[in-house]
Structure 1
Amino acid sequence: EECTACRILRQFGFTDKEAESYLVTVSDRNTGRVLVSPVTRKIIVRAEELAEKDDALCGSIHILLSACLVRTSLAAKILAGHKIDYDRILSVAEGIKNYDPEPKQVAMPKKTDVHAQNTPISEIESFGEFLTEKARKNELEPFFGREKVLERILRVLSRKNKNNPMLVGESGVGKTAVVEGLAQLAVGRSAPDFLRNKEIFSLNVGSLLSGTRYRGDLEEKVGTLLKNLRGKNVILFIDEAHVLLSGGGSDQNVTLSSLLKPALCGDIPVVGATTFDEYTRYIERDPAFERRFTKVIVPEMTIDETNELILRKKAGLEKHFGLSIDKKAATLATDLSVRYLSDGFLPDKAIDLTEEAFAKAKAEQKKKVTEEDVRYVLSERTGIPVNKLTIEERKRALQIEEELKKRVMGQPEAIDKTASAIRRTYAGLKDEERPYSFLFIGPTGVGKTETAKTLAEVLFGNENELIRFDMSEFSEKNSVAKLIGSPPGYVGYEEGGRLTEAVRKKPYSVLLLDEIEKADASVYSLLLQLLDDGRLTDAKGKTVDFSHVIVIMTGNIGVKNRSKNKGSVGFITAEKDDKEGVFSELKSILPPEFINRINNIIIFDDLSKEILPSIANKLLERIKRTLLHERGIELDVSKSVLTYLADRGYDKEYGARPLRRLIEREIEDELSRYLLETDPKNCSLTITLCGNKPQIRKKRRPKSHACGNQRKKLSPR
C-alpha cells in the first residue's frame, strides 16, 4: 500500500475499493484462478527492461509504466479510461520521488529513455518474434540449397504493388528455412538495397486469435498490428497462412484475411507459407485474397543438397549433443530415408533421422554416432531389419529357400523362384518405384497361402505383417470403394479405404490378394496403377506408397485344363502344353495389361501322396508345442501313425485340407478327451498305431516325472 505506484494512483483519484473491484472482475473472468497471461508476462519483461535501462532494481513504478506501454493489456485500458498516460505518471512520479519508501537503488525512469523504448516495433513483439534479431545473434540454422527460391522471393518483394510471395510446398521441404535465409541475407553485407535495414517479423497467428471472445477484439488487435507495421521497414512472415481464412469471430463473418486484404496491396510486404493441399482448400477459394499473393513453389531437396545441408548442420548438432559423427553416418541418413521413409520429404525426414540417431547415442553414453545407430533408429521406425548385412545374414539371404521349405512342402520349384526374387530385393536390384508381385496358381490346399504367410515371417519376423484380402468380397463393381475409400457424400467416407489404410500403417509388409479371379474387373483396373507405379490415391486424395510391399495374388485359374501327366513330384515343371492351357484361361479372366505387370507367375502342382506324412508331422508340431508349453508333456508320434494319416487324408483334388480335418478328428478329439479325464503333467506320451487305430501310450519315466495315471486306449468312433 505504501509503494510508489500506489501513491501515484491515489494522486489520480484511485481508491483502494475501486482497485479491488477491478481485481475481482479479473478473478471472475478467470474462473477464480490467478493466471499469468502472456500479456502479464510482457508487462513484467518490459518493466525489467525499463529498470535495466536505469541500472536499477525493478520497482512498482516500472511495472505501472510498463502497463501503459503494453496497450493490449487490461491495465492499459483501465488507465486510459481514467485519462492516465505515461507522461502524466512520470510527472507525478518526479514530484514524489524524494519520499519514495522503496529501496534507494530503485531509480525513477528517465523520460527520454523510456520514450525511446516506446517504439511501434516493441508493441507488436507480443504477436511474434523478429527473425532478423535471431539472425544477428546467430541463432538460426545455416541456409543452403534454396538459392533459386530465395532469388524468386527477392524479385517479388522488390515489386511496388502486390509484393507478397506465397511459399507453397509439402510439409518438411524447408519453407520456413527459406524465410530464415531471407533474414540472414537482410542482416548480411550482401543484402540488396531494398532489403537492407529491413526487419523480418514472424507472426504468431495464435496470439492474434487468443482472447478474441467478443466482437471487436480481433479487429482491435489486427488494427494495432497494421498500424505499427505500416510505413515501417518490416516484412511480415505468416507461417501456415491458410489459417488467415479459417480463423476469426465466432460467426466466421470476420476473418483475418478480410482484415489484412487492404494492407496486402503494397502497404506491408507479407511472406506466406502453406502446403499444396491447404492452398487449394482455403486460399484458392478466395480469389480476392489469392490474387494479392504471388505463388512461389518450394520443391523437395535433392539427395546431394540434403547431404550438403546435413554436413553444414553437423557442427551444430555435435555441439548440442556433445557427440561426434563421421561423414558416412551423416549422409547415410539421407540414403536410408529416401529408400525407406516414403511418408515424408527431404530434407526434413533425413534431419529427423540424424537427430534421433544423435539422441540414441547420447542416451547410451556413447562418444560417437555410427552408421549402426542410424540404421537402428530407422529399423525401430519402420520395423524392417535394415542393419548392415553381416556374414550370417548374407548366408540367410542365400539360403532363404530352406526357411520356406521348412513350412511349405511339396513345392520345391515354386519356392526356388520365390526365393530368387526375394534375393534380388536383398541385393537392392529391385525397381525401387514398384512393388514386387507374384501370382500363385494351383489347386486348393497345396500351399499358396502358406507360402505367403511364411514369406511374411521370414522377411519381417512376424506373420502379422501379412495384409490379407479375400477378393470374393470385391466381386461387385461398387465394391472397389472398399479398397480406396468411399467418395464424398457416401457412407464410410471418413473411414478411408481398407487397402490404402492398411498399407499406410504397415508400409513394409506382404499383401495377399486371395482368389484374385473372383474380383470385379474394376478392381483389376485399380491394381494396374499399384503394380506399375507403386502407389494408389485414396478417396481423400492422399497418395499411399506401395513400393516396399510384396504383392502376392493366388488363384485356381486354369487348374482343370492342365495336363494330367505329372512328371515331377509336387510341382509341374511347366511343359509347353501345360503353360498354354493355364495362360489361355488366365487371359480369358484377367486383362492382358494386368497379366503383363505381374513379375512372376508360379504354378503349384497337386500334392503327391508321398509328401503327406511330412505335412502331417508339420501339422502335429503345433499340438506338440502346446502340450509342452502348457503341461510340460512331450508328445511323440510314430511313423506308422503318420503313414496312417497320409493314407486316410489324401485327396488329390483338395490338397492338404482333408488331412487337417482328419488330424482334428482322429488325434485332437481323442487327445483332448484323454487330457481332461487323466489331467497328466510333466510326462511323456506317445501315439502309435494299434489295430489300425492311433493309441495313446505313456512312456515310462523316473518316478519324479511319472504321470501317476494309466494309459488309455483310443476307442473307435
Structure 2
Amino acid sequence: MLNIKQEISNFFSALVNLFIFLPYFFSVKHLLKTLFSPWKNLVAKKQGVGFSFEEWVNRLFFNLISRGIGFFARTSLLLFYFFITITYIVILPFIIIFFFIFYLPFKIIIFPFEEKEETKKQKLKEKFLKTHLLEEKNKSLVEAWFEDFYQRHFQKKRWWELNNLFSYPPLARDWTFGYTPNLDQYSLSLCDSSYLNSRLSIVDRQKEIDQIERILSKSNFANVIIVGEEGVGKHTIVDALAKKIYEGKVGPALAYKRILKVNMEKILSEFTDEKKRENFFEELLQEAAEAKNVILLIDNIDRYLFPFEGRVDLTTTIEKFAKTDAIQFIGITEPFFYQKFIYPNEKINRLFEKVDVYEVSIEEAEKIILENFEILETRHRVFFPYETIKNAINKANFYITEIPFPEKAIDLLDLAAVFQRKKLGLLEKQWTVVFPQAIDEVLEEKTHIPTSITPALSEKLLNLEKILSSQIIQQEEAINQLAQALRRSFLLLGKRKKPLASFLFLGPTGVGKTETAKAIAKLFFGSEDYLLRFDMSLYQTKEDIKNLIGSMETGNPGLLTKAIREKPYGVLLLDELEKANRDLINIFLTLLDEGYFTDGFGKRVDGKNLVIIATSNAGADLLYSVKTYKDSFTLIDNLIARGLFSPEFLNRFDGVVVFKPLTNQSILDLAKKMVEKIKQDLYQLYRVKIIIDENFLKKIVEENYNEKFGARNLERILREKIEDKLAKIILAKKPKEEEVIEIDGDI
C-alpha cells in the first residue's frame, strides 16, 4: 500500500528545501555584502609620488565605473532572485493544490500497478549478486556491500535532499574577486568543473581534509604544507578539498576560493636569470594577492625554499606573501625533503603548518574500493566480484611495495579489466566479469613472480635437480639441498613475510655458486637480467654502508636500495659476504628475518619478493683437505669457530649450501660445455662449423686451470686459445660458409 504520509512528507520537504536552496544558489548573502564592491576587484591605484589632480580624477572616475558595473550586475542578479522567489511563493498554493488534487490521487490509482520499491530492490540485489559474488561463503559480505551501495544509490535519486541541492555551485561566486590573467597562464585551476570531472575521486581522507580546511581558515599564517611519501594521496586530498570548495561545502573563510596549482617548471624554463625569475614570480603572487581569493598549490615546494645546488631559493618571496592574509599557500613535499630543506628553514617553518599523510591500511583500502567500485566498473565496462577485489587488495599488499594503497590495488584492477577485455576480444559496449585469476595473470606478467603454485611452477619445482644439474657441473649434493629448500619456500608463496627464499652458498671460487644464482634467476624470473649482484668486499667500513643503503647527509639514494626499488623481483646476489662490515651484516639480518630493511633516509626497502643468495669463499681451504672435511656441518662449525659467521646469522637462511671443489673430470666436462657455447658464438659470427680435438682441449685445461680461481677464468682461456687458432685459419684459408674447420695441435 502507498505510504501517503511519506509522499506528503517528501513533497513538503522538497518545497521547503527549494526555498532554502534559492538564496544559496543566487549567492544572496554574498551579493548584499559586496553590493558596492568594484567589479572583479578592478581598482585603479595611485601611481608615482606626490599629488596629481588629473590622476586623482581619473582614478576616481575609473573606480566609480568599476563599482557601478559591480552594483548593476549584482543588483540585476538579486532582482532576478526576488522575481524567482516571489513567483515561487505565488504559485506555491497552486503546486500544493495540484499535488493533492491530481498527483496524489493519480499516484494512489497507479500504485497497485507500479513495481514496488522492495521488488525493484530485490531485482537489483539479485543482479548485483550475480555479477559480484563468486563464492557462497562471501554472500553475507556481498549483501552488506549491496546494502551500502543501494543506500547511496537511493540517496542520489532524492534530488530534494539539501545535500544533493547544495552540490550545485552558486552563481556570481567570483564577481567580487580579481582577474588573474598572467597567473592563469602559469597555473591550473583545481576548482574548475572541467578539471574536477576528469579526476577519479577515490578518497577517504576526511581527517586530513578537515585538518587542512581548519588551517586554511585561520586568521593569520593560514598556510599548509602536506608531507607524505610519493603516491600516498597528497594530491588527491587537495583535489577533494577543491571539490568541496566548488560545491560550496566549506566554511565562510574558504567560500569562493580558488586553488591554483602553479606550474613552476614552466616559470623556471622561461626565466633562467635568477633575478628576473624572482621578480616575475613576485608579480604572479602580487596578482594572486590582489584577486583576494587564491590559494596557491606548489608541488615539491622544498625545491624552492633552500639555497642548495640544483635548487631555486624563493624563500624571501614566498615568506613575504605567506605573512599576509591576501594569499594562501599549500605546499606538497616528502618527509625526507621536509626534514632536510624545510624544517631547518625557520622563516618558512613558522608560516606553514604541517599535515602528515600516511598510506591507508589494507582495511581502509578495501572500504575505499568497495564504496567507489562503480566508477572503476563504468570506466572499463566490467564487473568486479568481491573475490576479485579482495584478491587484488591482498596481492597488491604482498607483491607491490613501492606504490601505496589504495592506488596499487586500483592499478591491479585496471590492468585486470584491460587484460580480460583484450583476452575475450570484446567490443566497446560489451560488459564482462573480471575473475580473480585475471589479477594473478597480470601480476605475474608485471612482476615475473608466480602468485600461486601453477602447474608450470609445480613442474619446475619437481624437476629442479634435473634442471639445475644440466647447467651446474658436479654439485649434486648442493643442488639436492638447494632444490629441497626452494620447494619448501615456494609452498609458502604469497604468505611469508620473509624473502621468497634465502641461501648462503659456501665453497671455493669458480665452482658454480654464481652460475647457480644465474640459473635460478632465469628459471624463476625469466632472465638473468633479474640478477642483482653486489661485491660485498667493497663495503668493509661504516662509510661504505652509506654507498649501499643511502645517506641523508649526501642525498645519495644508495646502490642497493636503488637496485631493489627498480627491480623488486629477482635474485639478489651478495658475493663474498664475509668481507662486509659487521653493521651491514646486521642490516641483512633484518632483511632475511623480516623481508625488509630501512635505508639511510628512514624509508622501508621491501625484499620479500627476492631470492637472496649470499656467497662466501671462507673455509675453502678446509674443502680441499680430505682428512679434515667430512660433510657440510664440518665446514659450518669451522666458520662459526673462527667467528666469521654467527649461528644466529646462519639460521636466518633457508639453507646453507656447500659447493665442493671440482674434480679433473668435472673440469673437463665443464670445459666441453663451455666449448659448445664458444662454437655456437663463432658460428653466428663466421658461419663455419668447428670441431675441436679432445686432446687439444685436455691440454688447454691441464696447462691453464688454476685451482685458486676454479672455473671462473676457464671460459676466457678457452675462448682465447680457440679464437686465436680460428683467426689464423680464417685469415690463411678464407673458408666458405658451412665449411667444417678442425682445431687441434699444439697450443
What TM-score, normalized by structure 1, do the two folds share? 0.65
Alignment check: 8 A CA contact 1:372 1:388 kept: no
CA–CA separation in structure 1 for the residues paired with 2:726 and 2:347 = 79
How do residues 267-416 of structure 1 correspond to structure 2 at under 5 angstroms? 273-287=332-346, 289-322=348-381, 325-358=384-417, 366=426, 368=432, 374=439, 378=443, 381-382=446-447, 384-386=448-450, 390-416=454-480
Q: Given the superposition, is the C-alpha separation of residues 644 and 370 from structure 1 closer, same or farther in structure 2, using an over 3 Å criterion?
A: farther
CA–CA separation in structure 2 for the residues paired with 1:208 and 1:633 = 58
Q: Which deviations, in whole Å up to 9, do the C-alpha atoms of 1:451-479 show, x marking residues without a partner? A: 11212221222223223233343455644
CA–CA separation in structure 1 for the residues paired with 2:228 and 2:506 = 45
Partner of 2:13: none
Q: Which deviations, in whole Å up to 9, do the C-alpha atoms of 1:28-58 show, x marking residues without a partner? A: xxxxxxxxxxxxxxxxxxxxxxxxxxxxxxx
Q: Which runs of 5+ in 2 are unaligned?
A: 1-38, 49-54, 79-171
Select the residue among 644, 648, 661 that pairs with 1:606. Answer: 661
Q: Given the superposition, is the C-alpha separation of residues 527 and 629 from structure 1 closer, same or farther in structure 2, using an over 3 Å criterion?
A: same
Tell me the amino acid that sits aligned with residue 202 of structure 1: I
Alignment check: 8 A CA contact 1:172 1:349 kept: no
Select the residue among 168, 172, 175 that pairs with 2:234. Answer: 175
Q: Given the superposition, is the C-alpha separation of residues 573 and 420 from structure 1 closer, same or farther in structure 2, using an over 3 Å criterion?
A: farther
Partner of 1:462: 527
Partner of 1:620: 675
TM-superposed deviation, 1:405: 1.2
CA–CA separation in structure 1 for the residues paired with 2:536 and 2:43 = 63
CA–CA separation in structure 2 for the residues paired with 1:81 and 1:632 = 95
Q: Given the superposition, is the C-alpha separation of residues 499 and 180 from structure 1 closer, same or farther in structure 2, using an over 3 Å criterion?
A: closer
Partner of 1:432: 497
CA–CA separation in structure 2 for the residues paired with 1:294 and 1:252 = 18
SS at match of 1:513: strand
Alignment check: 8 A CA contact 2:174 2:256 kept: no
Q: Given the superposition, is the C-alpha separation of residues 237 and 141 from structure 1 closer, same or farther in structure 2, using an over 3 Å criterion?
A: farther
SS at match of 1:420: helix
TM-superposed deviation, 1:715: 3.4
Partner of 2:162: none
Partner of 1:255: 317
Q: Which deviations, in whole Å up to 9, do the C-alpha atoms of 1:238-276 show, x marking residues without a partner? A: 35383696399998463223212232xxx8887665432
Alignment check: 8 A CA contact 1:146 1:178 kept: yes
Tell me, yes or no, if structure 1 residue 714 matches structure 2 residue 728. no
Partner of 2:638: 581
Tell me the amino acid that sits aligned with residue 524 of structure 2: L
Q: Given the superposition, is the C-alpha separation of residues 628 and 145 from structure 1 closer, same or farther in structure 2, using an over 3 Å criterion?
A: same
How do residues 171-210 of structure 1 correspond to structure 2 at under 5 angstroms? 171-182=230-241, 194=251, 198-206=255-263
Bigger mean CA offset, 295-304 vs 202-211: 202-211
Q: Relative contact order (C-alpha < 8 Å, sep 6+): which is higher?
A: 2
Alignment check: 8 A CA contact 1:245 1:283 kept: no
Q: Which runs of 5+ in 1 are unaligned?
A: 1-67, 94-108, 687-695, 697-712
Select the residue among 684, 705, 712 that pairs with 1:629. Answer: 684
Select the residue among 564, 570, 576 that pairs with 1:515. Answer: 576
TM-superposed deviation, 1:138: 6.8
CA–CA separation in structure 1 for the residues paired with 2:312 and 2:564 = 39
Alignment check: 8 A CA contact 1:321 1:359 kept: yes
CA–CA separation in structure 2 for the residues paired with 1:598 and 1:547 = 13
CA–CA separation in structure 2 for the residues paired with 1:659 and 1:118 = 79
Q: Which deviations, in whole Å up to 9, do the C-alpha atoms of 1:421-455 show, x marking residues without a partner? A: 33345441663354643221122332112211212
CA–CA separation in structure 2 for the residues paired with 1:714 and 1:271 = 77
CA–CA separation in structure 2 for the residues paired with 1:537 and 1:451 = 29
Between structures 1 and 2, the one with greater helix share: 2
Tell me the amino acid that sits aligned with residue 614 of structure 1: D
CA–CA separation in structure 1 for the residues paired with 2:390 and 2:56 = 60
CA–CA separation in structure 1 for the residues paired with 2:220 and 2:633 = 75
Instruction: Indicate the RMSD between aligned Cα atoms, in angstroms.
Output: 5.2
Q: Could you tell me the percent identity over the aligned residues?
A: 28
How do residues 77-116 of structure 1 correspond to structure 2 at under 5 angstroms? 85=62
Partner of 1:560: 621
Q: Which deviations, in whole Å up to 9, do the C-alpha atoms of 1:610-657 show, x marking residues without a partner? A: 544532332222033224434555556788888888888888776546
What TM-score, normalized by structure 2, do the two folds share? 0.63
Partner of 1:473: 538
Q: Which deviations, in whole Å up to 9, do the C-alpha atoms of 1:655-701 show, x marking residues without a partner? A: 54686578558766545544544444454759xxxxxxxxx3xxxxx
TM-superposed deviation, 1:408: 0.6
Alignment check: 8 A CA contact 1:186 1:198 kept: yes
Partner of 1:119: 175
Alignment check: 8 A CA contact 1:510 1:550 kept: yes
CA–CA separation in structure 1 for the residues paired with 2:613 and 2:221 = 55
CA–CA separation in structure 2 for the residues paired with 1:618 and 1:155 = 72
CA–CA separation in structure 2 for the residues paired with 1:487 and 1:122 = 44
Select the residue among 607, 617, 638 that pairs with 1:546. Answer: 607
TM-superposed deviation, 1:336: 3.6
Alignment check: 8 A CA contact 1:239 1:273 kept: yes
CA–CA separation in structure 2 for the residues paired with 1:494 and 1:386 = 35
Q: Given the superposition, is the C-alpha separation of residues 70 and 621 from structure 1 closer, same or farther in structure 2, using an over 3 Å criterion?
A: farther
Q: Which deviations, in whole Å up to 9, do the C-alpha atoms of 1:141-199 show, x marking residues without a partner? A: 4455334444555666777776666543222222343344456667889x68x569934
Partner of 2:25: none
